[in-house]
């Protein structure tokens, strides 16, 4: 296997009294799709923010492409951060900027000034998410699924080596969710991008993941392939896969 793109070792993080990460080790390999699962509040979003260098751990190290990001100041972090993109939950678009300007934002922020180059890169990103002719629209004129695709275009416009997605399937109909999965797959296979995807959609996990990490209470509780996940006899993984909360539905509905 190739060298990992990201190596996180022994990450701990507390907010006040609350220990949110309790010693997380995780590696992200180039051009792989890793799906991060786990119950609400388990620390998935906090972990992703660490992997991107948006948060620094109390203990432990994060190495991105051979560089220890938490030892750097913000200016030194710039070039490393540019190797990563993020698609936030809810899209987080700027409502007062057009689709084109939303996607151009990271390029301008990273100091690109050449207007032709910006146009070329934004149009390429729009093509990747199949929104080629929608650049002039405002976010309010888009459907939820389209907003998510704009957010994805913005995450990939600076040609990152790794893209993080925080619940990209939330609020999408099954067919649009399937299309997003195809898009993530094509970023990986056609553009060599590593995907780190937080999702609660088990169907998508089975379709897109090369590896699955299951987080529980601030630790990586389980790590393996989707087929190992399906075959696992761990009750917690099985309940997650089948959406069981311990209620006996057939009995409950009969008694009502």
User: Contact residues for ligand ATP (CB under 6 A)?
Assistant: 15, 20, 38, 40-46
Backbone angles phi, psi at 55, to 5 degrees: -130, 150
Is the Cβ–Cβ distance between 181 and 202 less than 8 Å?
no
Q: Does 204 bind Mg ion (CB under 5 A)?
A: no
Minimum CB separation of residue 45 from ligand ATP in Å reads: 3
* Nearest residue (CB) to ligand ATP, 15 versus 249: 15
Pick what 40 binds: ligand ATP, Mg ion, none; C-beta below 5 to 8 Å, kind-dependent. ligand ATP
Using CA atoms, how far residue 97 sits from 23, 36, 68, 102, 112, in Å, is 41, 31, 35, 6, 18
* Nearest residue (CB) to ligand ATP, 36 versus 146: 36
Q: Does 77 bind Mg ion (CB under 5 A)?
A: no
Cα–Cα dist 88/230, whole Å: 28
| Secondary structure (DSSP) of 7-72 | EEEEEEEEETTEEEEEEEEEEE-TT-EEEEEE-TTSSHHHHHHHHTTSS--SEEEEEETTEEGGGS
* Nearest residue (CB) to ligand ATP, 44 versus 211: 44
* Nearest residue (CB) to ligand ATP, 43 versus 60: 43
Pick what 15 binds: ligand ATP, Mg ion, none; C-beta below 5 to 8 Å, kind-dependent. ligand ATP
Pick what 20 binds: Mg ion, ligand ATP, none; C-beta below 5 to 8 Å, kind-dependent. ligand ATP
Minimum CB separation of residue 54 from ligand ATP in Å reads: 10
Cα–Cα dist 87/99, whole Å: 15
Q: Does 199 bind Mg ion (CB under 5 A)?
A: no
Tokens of 184: 């993530």
* Nearest residue (CB) to ligand ATP, 46 versus 162: 46
Using CA atoms, how far residue 156 sits from 11, 20, 62, 201, 227, in Å, is 27, 29, 22, 22, 29
Minimum CB separation of residue 241 from ligand ATP in Å reads: 16
What letter would DSSP give residue 4?
Answer: P
> Which string of x and - marks every residue 14-53 that binds Mg ion (by CB under 5 A)?
-------------------------------x--------
* Nearest residue (CB) to Mg ion, 158 versus 201: 201
Is the Cβ–Cβ distance between 21 and 56 less than 8 Å?
no
Minimum CB separation of residue 32 from ligand ATP in Å reads: 21
Binding-site ranges for Mg ion (CB under 5 A): 45
């Amino acid at each position: 296997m190739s060298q990992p793109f990201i190596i996180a070792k022994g990450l701990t993080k507390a907010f006040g009294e609350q220990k949110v990460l309790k010693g997380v080790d995780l590696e992200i390999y180039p051009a792989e799709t890793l799906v991060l699962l786990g119950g609400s509040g388990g620390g998935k979003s906090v972990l992703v923010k660490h992997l991107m260098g948006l948060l620094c751990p109390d203990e432990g190290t994060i190495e991105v492409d051979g560089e220890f990001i938490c030892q750097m100041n913000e200016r030194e972090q710039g070039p490393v951060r540019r190797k990563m993109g993020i698609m936030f939950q809810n899209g987080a678009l700027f409502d007062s900027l057009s689709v084109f300007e939303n996607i151009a934002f990271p390029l301008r922020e990273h100091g690109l000034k050449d207007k032709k180059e910006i146009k070329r890169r934004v149009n390429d990103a729009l093509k990747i998410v199949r929104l080629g002719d929608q650049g002039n629209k405002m976010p309010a004129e888009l459907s939820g699924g389209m907003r998510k695709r704009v957010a994805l275009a913005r995450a990939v416009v600076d040609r990152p080596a790794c893209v993080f997605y925080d619940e990209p399937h939330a609020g999408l109909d099954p067919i649009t969710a399937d299309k997003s999965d195809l898009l993530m797959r094509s970023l990986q296979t056609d553009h060599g991008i590593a995907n780190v995807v937080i999702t609660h959609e088990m169907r998508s996990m089975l379709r897109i993941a090369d590896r699955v990490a299951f987080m529980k209470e601030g630790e990586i509780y389980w790590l393996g392939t989707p087929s190992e996940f399906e075959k696992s006899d761990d009750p917690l993984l099985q309940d997650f896969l089948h959406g069981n909360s311990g209620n006996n539905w057939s009995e409950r509905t009969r008694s009502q």
